[in-house]
Every structure is written in C-alpha cells, then in structure tokens.
Chains A and B, each alone.
Chain A
Amino acid sequence: MKFRLKFCILTFVSVILALAVFLFVLLISQKNHHKFDLTSEHIYSLSPQSVQTVQEIKDPIEALVFLAESDFAGREKARELLDNYNRANDKLTYRFVDPLKSPATAKKYDIRMPGTIILEKGKKTQRVQGVAEEELTNALLAMDRSSMKKVYFLKGHGEMGEDSKETSSFSQFRSAMTSEGFASDELSLLEKDSVPEDASVLVIAAPKAEMAPVERQRFTDWLDKGGRVFLMLGLDSGTKYDWLLEKFDLRCPDEMIIDVQAALAGAEPVYAIATAYNSDAVITRNFSTLTVFKMARPITSIEHKEGEESNISIIPLAYTGVAYTVANDNILNKDLKDVVNQNHKAEGSMPLAAAATYKVGGDDKAAKDKADDKTDNTKLVKGVFTGNADFVSNELFGAYGNRDFAMNILNWLTESENRITIRPRNDKTAPIIISDRNMTVIKVLLIFAIPLAVFLVGLSNVRKRGR
C-alpha cells in the first residue's frame, strides 16, 4: 500500500512538473524566437530599411490599431506586421482598439476609417492610413523628426480666414496640424522679403486676388529651390493662378463640377464627392472613405503635343462619380437647381485633386529625368492642387475622409526626400489557365484514380497477408 501510495505521489508530482516544464518552455520560446522566412521575396519579414528605421527608435512608441474585434483577418495581418516591428525593437508596442467598443477613444483620435493606426510617442502622434509596412515605416521616420515642420498660410489676397471659428475658417485644420506635429503661421509676401527658411509648405487657400509681381517673384524663387505648395482654388480665384498651375503642367478650368451621382444620392448640387482614388499615389493609397468638396473646380493636366518632353510628374488623386462641369459664368446669380435641371450630357468622373512634382538644380539631364527619381544634388518641387478649399474649412473638415485627406496631403508635401519606398513584395501574380478537359482529368485523378489505386493496393495487401 505504501509502495503504491509512493508511486502515486511520484507520478502526480512528475505530471505537474511536466506540465510546468511545458509551459515554461513555451514562455521562453515566446520571448526568444527566430523566424526563417522561406518565401522567395521574404514577404513575411520586414525589409532592411524598416528594420534599420525601427532599430533606431530610442523612446517608447505605442501603436493603437483601430480594428473591430470581428475583423479577424485584418487583426491577424496587423498582428503579423507589428510583431515583426516589435521583434526588431521592443520599444515599439501595439494594442488593438475596437472603435465600436471604444467610441470615446475613436473620437479622441478622430478615426474615420478602419485600419487606421495612431502612433503615440509621448504627446506626439502620427496617423497611419492602413496596415502596410511602407506607410508604417515612413510614419516612424516622420515621428523621429526632431524639428517641427512649419506650414505657412499665405494671406493678403482674400484667402479663406484662419483664426475665427466660423464654418469657413481653418481652425480645425490648424488644430489637427498641431496634434500631428506641425506648426502653422501666416505669411504675407509683401511684408517679408522672402518665404521664411523654416517653411515646409505654403498653403494658398482660395485666393480671390492675384499676387503682386514682387510677391510672385519671391514665391517663385522659393518654389524653384525645392518648395512645396498646397494650392486650393475657389470659384472666385478665376484664372488668376493659372501661371502657378502651368508650372506643374496642370490647369483648373473656370467651371464648377456638378456631381450627378452625388445628386442622385440626395446631395445638394453644390457638393462634389470624391468616390475613387489613385491607389498608386502615396497620398491616397489605402484611402477608401468619401471626401466632400463644395463648389469644386476640376483639376486637369495640360496635354502636350506629340514629341514634347516634360519633366513634370503628375499624380491624379481623387475623382467624382458621374459628373459634368458648368462654366462659372453660367452659374453666377443663378439658382443652382435651375442649372442642374437643364439638359446636360454627363461627362464622366471629374478629377478633384492632383499632385505634381518636378526636379530643380543639378545638371540638365538630372532635371529632365523623371521627377519622381531622387538624386543628391537636385531638389524636388512638390505641389498639390484642389479646385476647392471648403473641404478643409470648419464646415467640412470633420466630414467623412476630409481630415485624413488633408493630413495625408500635408504629410506627403512635408516628408523627407529620404522617404522610404518599399516595393510590395507579394505581387507575384500569374494567370492559371485550365481547359475543361484538363480540369476533368485533374478531378478524376485527384478524387478517384489516386485514392482508388491506394485502396486497391491496400486491398491486395490485406488479402495476401490473410492467406
């Protein structure tokens, strides 16, 4: 009896110990493990640029990933990516936030799109649209900027106001800029000899009057040394800023977009809604929310004659659904509903915004190279153009994706020349073409022939052994 009791106790203890060792081994391997990515393009590993960027992080950064609990696939993708970052530097941690279960947190960060990541480092935040390595790494780079980027709002030409809280002012836009690490100020090029050296972006918001020649010269001198401009035109801007658009091979016809698709959905004729985006553009990659413009003009590119070379790279950003344009003259002093009710031929989707770049400096050849290539001795001039400024006014800034669109524009304009480009590595696609006959052969082989052959071999084997 004693013998049995002794063995019983020993067995019990050994089982408990075994379980403890099992859990301990799992605990150790969870903390110390190594991954071998056997895929040919290492798609489940961080790129060397990302690894280098994240290893340089010195202060703790927390990533808040706004994804619903029910979005298992999205969370799994985010977990895989962020675990890679955390493994490279454990100062970067993350947690998931379900916007439906934590509406206060979602509201605090003004989350409009699922998959938005907010990086927090102390009081500084950086927004990342979509769960993707390139966006996350560049956001980490942007967070690491020691100096604040400064955005100047041009004044003196009847631009939209900035200080008051009226619906047409930019106070919400400027608050959002501050929360993402931008400083802002006003600038008059009549009062200053030049655009300040600390200017990262110059915003020109729906000017009604044109620039004086001296202003234009000061502005152009700054722009052509690698300046970044965000020009938002209004109906009252007319053709006064065509000279600036032409520098980027763009034009903004003096017309207003009537968005037929939006009108069918019940919107007022004054609104044009961006429903389609250029997924190849950094500003609108992973962008899926509507952006609302009011009394918008189209932004189009200047067509060059055949054989004419241009060193300007134009990047369309956003389009309406089915829409047409009406000349500005036709809508002055008229009820828009009457204009809309006239028989118009729908022209298709209208471009609401575009970005463009060109290189300056270096030799002629470098300047003539595609403007999205970067060389050490050239500067990249960037511009973003919209035919409307109301989308960033207090009236519409909080609507749909307006905030994110505006902040993406600023981030793109102010980002470093050393922005990391990580080519998506899971783009090995190849068509699979199988004729019906071959498909039948495959089905017969996999479903019948091979299993039947195995069973018959087994049958004969069993019978042979049975004899």
Chain B
Amino acid sequence: MIAVFLREVKAYFSSYLAWSLVAAYLVIYGVITAFSLEDLAQISMQAMGGGQPVNIMEMMIPPLLSMMGFLLLFFLPLLTMRLFSGEKRSGTLDLLLTYPLTEAQIIGGKLLATMLVVVLMLAFSLSGFIILGKLSAIEWQVVASGYLGLLLLSASFISFGMWVSSLTSSQAVSGAATYGGLLIFWILDGVDRTGIIKQYFGDLSPLGHLTTMTKGVIDTQNLVYFIAFSFLFLFLTARVLESRKWRG
C-alpha cells in the first residue's frame, strides 16, 4: 500500500494539477474569508451603536467551515477523476493489477494519496482561522471539530469519486459523473419532504452531516455515516477492480 501511496503522491505533486487545485481552492477560500470578515467587522461597528451584537463563533466559523465543505464538492472530482480512469486510458491499470497487491491495498494507497492533497488544502486554510483567532477569541475545539468533519467529508467524496473513476476510462465522464452524483447527494435532503427517510436513516446528505460538526458538535451518527459511506464506495470500487479479473 505504501508503494501505491508514494506512487500516487509523486504523480500528484509532479504535475501542475494538484498544486493548481490547492492554489485555486485557497484563492476562493481566501476571497470568501476576507470578505466575510469585512462584513462582520462592519456589523460589529454597527453593533457598538446599538445594532445586533457580533458572535464570531455563531456568525462566521460554522458558515465558513460549511462553505469549505461545499468547495470540496467542486474540487475533489478533479482529483479523483484520474485515479482509475487515467490509469485505464494509459493502460497502466492492468500492470498495477498484476502486482502482488490486493485491491484493498491499491485502493487504500490511492485514497491516502488523495487525502494528502486535501490535508495540504486544509492545512493552508488554517491561516484564515489563525487570523480570526488574533482578532477575536475563537473556540479552537469547534474549529477542530469542523476540520475533522471536512476530513471525513473529503474521504467520503474521494471514495465516491474513486468508484465512479473505476467504472469508466474517460476522465471527463468520470469527473462529470462524480459531480453529478455528489450534487444529487447534496440535494437529497430537499427531496425528502415528508422527513420519513431522515426519521429512519438520518441525513443522507454528506454536507448535512458536516453542518453539525461545524458547530462544534460531534455526533456519533455523523462519524458512523462518513465511515460507512466511505467504506461502501471503497467496497464497490474493490468489486469493480475484482471484476476486471474475471471479465478478462
């Protein structure tokens, strides 16, 4: 698995793709954070003259963390689309499958490598929170809870993207299908008008589970969801890879 991990890390960081995506993510994140902070400072000035008081932990931190999760929905498919589609297109997948590696090791290595790119994105985004921390007292445990949620969300998105990538040799199709699938998951909440699905199975949308964690609440239901979601799609990916063997 480590060999696959290192191979993937090398592939990511020796191309412009990962670096460009991280930089682009940080630009968008920076714009949102800076202008939200500016708005909050204006509200704060008004509050001193008798307007609504400012609570950064309520008005800025959870929405910012949720927005970071939403941005991942758009960036991660660009990372995952090459995981298997690219290998199929270039013919290296069959070579990879001949190595003495199980499907789990291959999938695990690729997952970890992609997660490393996400960790890089999130690590640099901490700069925004450090700046916020200098301006006002923030509860770092809430930020930590939000980041844990973002990491789990990323793992879920990557697992899904990896499965879609394993189904096709076209990176474009893989990317588009991953976007489509993740967007469907996002809007699932709105579809469940009666609330029956939510009553029995809880929130089916990954972003819905993130929202709780951005407020500093870690619910075991959220953790179970993310882990189960990731495992489901990693399992399905393994089945797709296995099927290549008996399909010939």
A interface, CB within 8 angstroms of B: 3-4, 7-8, 11, 14-15, 18-19, 22-23, 25-27, 29-30, 33-40, 44, 426-434, 439, 442-443, 445-448, 450-452, 454-455, 457-459, 461-462, 465-466
Q: Is the CB of A462 within 8 A of B15?
A: yes
Q: Is the CB of A429 within 8 A of B54?
A: yes
List chain A residues, Cβ under 8 A from B15: 462
Label chain B's interface by main secondary structure.
helix
List chain A residues, Cβ under 8 A from B18: 458
List chain A residues, Cβ under 8 A from B236: 15, 18
List chain B residues, Cβ under 8 A from A447: 27, 30-31, 34
- Interface contacts (Cβ under 8 Å), in number, total 183
Taken together as a complex, chains A and B put the C-alpha atoms of A19 and B239 apart, in Å, by: 13
Q: Name B189's closest neighbour in chain A (CB-CB).
A: A72
The answer, yes or no, to whether B176 is at the interface (CB within 8 Å) is no
Given A18, A439, A457, A462, which contacts B232 in the complex, CB threshold below 8 Å?
A18
Q: Name A22's closest neighbour in chain B (CB-CB).
A: B232
Task: Tell me whether A11 and B201 are in contact in the complex, defined as CB-CB below 8 angstroms, given that A29-B220, A431-B48 are known contacts.
Answer: no
Q: Name B19's closest neighbour in chain A (CB-CB).
A: A458
Taken together as a complex, chains A and B put the C-alpha atoms of A410 and B212 apart, in Å, by: 38
B interface, CB within 8 angstroms of A: 10, 13-16, 18-20, 22-24, 26-27, 29-31, 33-34, 37-38, 40-41, 44-45, 47-48, 53-58, 120, 124, 127-128, 131, 135-137, 139, 141-142, 144-145, 199-202, 204, 215-221, 224-225, 228-229, 231-232, 235-236, 239, 242-243, 246-247
Taken together as a complex, chains A and B put the C-alpha atoms of A446 and B130 apart, in Å, by: 11
Q: What 6 pairs across the A-B complex have the smallest Cβ distances?
A: A458-B19, A446-B30, A429-B53, A33-B221, A455-B23, A29-B224
How distant is A37 from chain B, measured CB to nearest CB, in Å?
5
List chain A residues, Cβ under 8 A from B199: 30
Task: Tell me whether A11 and B242 are in contact in the complex, defined as CB-CB below 8 angstroms, given that A25-B228, A451-B27, A458-B18 are known contacts.
Answer: yes
Q: Is the CB of A7 within 8 A of B44?
A: no
List chain B residues, Cβ under 8 A from A19: 232
How distant is A22 from chain B, measured CB to nearest CB, in Å?
5
Q: Is the CB of A432 within 8 A of B219?
A: no
How distant is B143 from chain A, measured CB to nearest CB, in Å?
10
List chain B residues, Cβ under 8 A from A458: 13, 16, 18-20, 22-23
Q: Is the CB of A38 within 8 A of B26?
A: no
Task: Tell me whether A432 and B224 are in contact in the complex, defined as CB-CB below 8 angstroms, given that A19-B232, A442-B131, A458-B22 are known contacts.
Answer: no
Taken together as a complex, chains A and B put the C-alpha atoms of A428 and B137 apart, in Å, by: 10
Q: Name B60's closest neighbour in chain A (CB-CB).
A: A432
Given A15, A22, A432, which contacts B40 in the complex, CB threshold below 8 Å?
A432
Task: Tell me whether A14 and B239 are in contact in the complex, defined as CB-CB below 8 angstroms, given that A22-B232, A30-B202, A454-B26 are known contacts.
Answer: yes
Q: Is the CB of B54 within 8 A of A430?
A: yes
List chain A residues, Cβ under 8 A from B27: 447, 451
Taken together as a complex, chains A and B put the C-alpha atoms of A358 and B9 apart, in Å, by: 73
Given A25, A434, A451, which contacts B26 in the complex, CB threshold below 8 Å?
A451
In addition to A23-B201, A429-B53, 4 A-B residue pairs with Cβ atoms within 8 Å of each other are A430-B56, A450-B26, A450-B127, A454-B22
